[in-house]
Amino acid sequence: MATINIANKMTRVPFNVPPVTGRELEYIGEVINRREFSGNGTFTARCQIWLKERLNAVDAILTHSCTAALEMAAILSELEPGDEVIMPSFTFVSTANAVVLRRAVPVFVDIRPDTLNIDETRIEAAITPRTKAICVVHYAGVCAEMDTIRQIAAKHKLILIEDAAQALLSTYRGTPAGHLGDLACFSFHETKNVTTGEGGALAINNPRFSERAYIIWEKGTNRRAHKLGAVEKYSWVDYGSSFLPSEFMAAILLAQLEQIERITEERRAIWRRYHNGFADLEAAEIVQRPSVPAHCTHNGHLYYLLLRNQKERDRLIQSLGVEEIGAPFHYVPLHSSLAGLRYARTHGDLSVTDNASAGLIRLPLHAGMAASAADRVIDSIHAILKR
């Protein structure tokens, strides 16, 4: 009973609160006034230009989710049944699903213990004659080791896809995440730094994918060529789907992109506060803090701690829950999930993945979060781990 009374006196610290920048309603009003509701309109174009310039991409195409962008990347990669795509198991299901939907096979390799990104030293041994692509995930907005991975992809003529869902505005040796592979997929889901609720984008850095990408995007039609005046009537020219978001989503996204610098900086400030706040626990070898290589900048997407084992981690999540602090785990590894066992295969030992999954806890982090809320999380974790 005592703990419940204490919790009641404290303000809840939610894991995530989506940002609102103030112009969302104004832009939605413009969509309504213009009677331009469906996709590929004015706001979509403005968001696409923003992304293209920011990422220095050949093209950037808005989608209704990162899942959709990953599916587009899988179609563009011309995966045939039985083809293989090398990826980490420590990721969200969509990275693998996109491949499985083409009847191709995700091949999971282990991650690095420091960044929890794919272990670049394990990729080459997993390559077979069926390997078509490598899909990296920039976990927590920290880029994978792209110099090595790009060399491997070039040497073996593999398509390189970035699942950059968490990495908008992160950089690797000064290059933006999303400009490091042939194709890159972003998410604007509610849990990401900027959001339209559900939303995403595909960035194209290799021009050979551009023309077909627009066709796949608009149901396999050459509607874009028609819009640009190149063909008189548009028609069905390839297979595709409806991967477009409506103009309402694009309107909200533009309002958010306009303030992405502020949003990112606010997140990074909380991230740094946590990082300083947990230095002592890392020194005492009670937790491991995130590690950002010197050649990477991160976007404050996520702050996590790695506990020594699942028991300690689960106890911490539960105790924080009692204090109304939202702190979830991250990823049941795909290689041990039901669908992963059925549709994918692993290459080598995945013990780093298993350990990260067992020990990881994500802490509340969002734009507009008060420093005092972060301090409360830091103090609570210290108190709980001392018990």
User: Which of the residues are catalytic?
Assistant: 192
Q: What is the smallest separation between the CB atom of 381 and ligand PLP, expressed in angstroms?
A: 24
Give the number of residues in contact with ligand PLP, rule: CB under 6 A.
14
Q: Does 40 bind ligand PLP (CB under 6 A)?
A: no
Q: Which of 48, 187, 195, 380 binds ligand PLP (CB under 6 A)?
A: 187
Q: What is the smallest separation between the CB atom of 170 and ligand PLP, expressed in angstroms?
A: 13
Spatial distance between the Cα atoms of 118 and 384, rounded to a whole number of angstroms: 32
Q: Does 115 bind ligand PLP (CB under 6 A)?
A: no
Contact between 159 and 182 (Cβ < 8 Å): yes
Task: Closer to ligand PLP by CB, 171 or 196: give it.
Answer: 196
Among candidate residues 190, 253, 256, the one with its CA nearest the CA of residue 17:
190
Tokens for 378, please give them.
């830091």
Spatial distance between the Cα atoms of 346 and 326, rounded to a whole number of angstroms: 32
Q: Does 299 bind ligand PLP (CB under 6 A)?
A: no
Contact between 203 and 59 (Cβ < 8 Å): yes
Q: Which of 44, 48, 67, 117 binds ligand PLP (CB under 6 A)?
A: 67
Of 192-251, which residues contact ligand PLP (CB under 6 A)?
200
Q: What is the smallest separation between the CB atom of 129 and ligand PLP, expressed in angstroms?
A: 28
Task: Name the strands in the sheet holding 360-362, side by side, starting at the edge strand that comes first in the sequence.
Answer: 287-288, 304-307, 360-362
Q: What is the smallest separation between the CB atom of 163 and ligand PLP, expressed in angstroms?
A: 5
Q: Does 267 bind ligand PLP (CB under 6 A)?
A: no
Of 127-146, which residues contact ligand PLP (CB under 6 A)?
137
Contacting residues for 120 by C-beta, under 8 A, at least 6 apart: 112, 144, 145, 148, 149, 152
Task: Closer to ligand PLP by CB, 69 or 281: give it.
Answer: 69
Contact between 57 and 179 (Cβ < 8 Å): yes
Q: Which stretch binds ligand PLP (CB under 6 A): 65-73, 108-116, 118-126, 326-334?
A: 65-73
Q: Does 189 bind ligand PLP (CB under 6 A)?
A: yes
Contact between 30 and 257 (Cβ < 8 Å): no
Q: Which of 126, 143, 165, 367 binds ligand PLP (CB under 6 A)?
A: 165
Helix (H, G, I), strand (E, B) or coil at 4: helix
Q: Does 167 bind ligand PLP (CB under 6 A)?
A: no
Q: What is the smallest separation between the CB atom of 33 and ligand PLP, expressed in angstroms?
A: 28
Q: Which of 77, 94, 171, 256 binds ligand PLP (CB under 6 A)?
A: 94
Spatial distance between the Cα atoms of 366 and 291, rounded to a whole number of angstroms: 20
Q: Which stretch binds ligand PLP (CB under 6 A): 87-95, 107-115, 290-298, 369-377?
A: 87-95
Q: Which of 40, 44, 48, 65 binds ligand PLP (CB under 6 A)?
A: 65
Task: Closer to ligand PLP by CB, 137 or 306: give it.
Answer: 137
For the CA atoms of 206, 210, 213, 214, the dihedral, rounded to the nearest 10 degrees, stands at 160
Contacting residues for 93 by C-beta, under 8 A, at least 6 apart: 334, 337, 339
Detail the DSSP E strand segments found in the chain. 59-63, 84-88, 105-109, 131-137, 159-163, 171-172, 175-176, 183-187, 200-204, 287-288, 296-297, 304-307, 345-346, 360-362
Number of alpha carbons in the 13 Å side-chain half-sphere of residue 335: 21
Q: Does 66 bind ligand PLP (CB under 6 A)?
A: yes
Task: Closer to ligand PLP by CB, 277 or 300: give it.
Answer: 300
Task: Closer to ligand PLP by CB, 193 or 288: give it.
Answer: 193
Contacting residues for 227 by C-beta, under 8 A, at least 6 apart: 40
User: In this structure, what are the phi and psi dihedrals at residue 122, rounded to the nearest 5 degrees?
Assistant: -105, 0
Task: Closer to ligand PLP by CB, 87 or 281: give it.
Answer: 87
Amino acid at site 242: S
Task: Closer to ligand PLP by CB, 88 or 240: give it.
Answer: 88
Q: Does 91 bind ligand PLP (CB under 6 A)?
A: yes
Residue identified by tokens 């004659």 is 129
Q: Which of 27, 43, 90, 92 binds ligand PLP (CB under 6 A)?
A: 92
Binding site for ligand PLP (CB under 6 A): 65-67, 91-92, 94-95, 137, 163, 165-166, 187, 189, 200
